[in-house]
Every structure is written in structure tokens, then in C-alpha cells.
A = this chain, B = another copy of it.
Amino acid sequence: MSITSGIGLRRIDHVGIAVPDLDQALELYVGTLGGECTHTETNSEQGVSEAMVAWPDGSSQVQLLAPLDENSTIQKFLDRQGPGLQQLAFEVEDIDHACAVLRDKGVRLLFDEPKTGTGGSRINFAHPKDVGGVLVELVEPVASTTPH
């Protein structure tokens, strides 16, 4: 088996949405759209204040991402194109393997080594220019807290 025999994506973990204000966004996604906020977190390395929102029949969540400061990637996204869909994240079994598969296929990753994402997960991003204009995130969850 070559390294490219399987990338090991399991499912859509979350869809990331850039929002200017987290509380207002929660009012929309929980209040109006009937989701349940399952987790909130501040990730200063990623420059975001975030909330995960779930609906009863699916495991894929919405990740609301508000900027912590002006240098946040999310603030730059908001300045460039306004609030909206920002990233598509896949759960992966082994992020080091998945990143190696992508690099082998000529897809650039944003980080040399995975960084820390939601709930202590390990994350990296494929460069949108190499994957059809989408900011694709890979998420290797902390084993014991994987929601299945």
C-alpha cells in the first residue's frame, strides 16, 4: 500500500462560520435555528472566541468563530468578505498520516505541524488554493472525547 492509499477522513466534523459577535451569532443559531450550544472556548493561538452548535440527529456541528483581536484570521476574513461560511472541517483518524497524504499529492498545509484546536484536538488546514477555494480543516479529536 502506498502512502496515498487512504487519507482517513471519517466525517464532516464542523462547518466554521466567521461572525463579528459570538453572542449575537448564538442568538441566531440557538434561538432562531434551534441548535444547542455544546461547547465554548477561547483559543488565543488561533485568535478566536468560538462556540460549537449541534442539532439532534447529526454529529456535524456549526463552529461559530469570532475574532479575539485585529490580527485574528477571522477578523481578516470579516474585513475581506464579511460574515459567512469560512471553513469546512473533517474528522480524521491520524492527522500526521492525512497531512503526509495531502503533501504527497501536492496539497500545501498551513502549518508544518498540527496545532491545538477545539477541545484539545489536533488540527491543520489545507491551503484553499490547492483544494478548490475551500479552507479545509483536518481534526484529529482527543480519543476519549470523540462524539460517536
A60 to B89, CA, bound (A): 12
Chain B residues positioned under 8 Å from A88 (CB to CB) = 15, 17, 62, 85
Number of copies: 2
Candidates B8, B56, B84; contact of A128 at CB < 8 Å: B84
Residue A112 CB within 8 A of the other chain: no
Residue A145 CB within 8 A of the other chain: no
Contacts A12-B58, A85-B88 aside, 18 further interface pairs with beta carbons under 8 A come to A7-B34, A8-B34, A10-B57, A11-B55, A11-B57, A15-B85, A15-B88, A17-B88, A17-B132, A19-B132, A28-B132, A32-B107, A33-B90, A33-B131, A33-B136, A59-B59, A59-B60, A84-B128
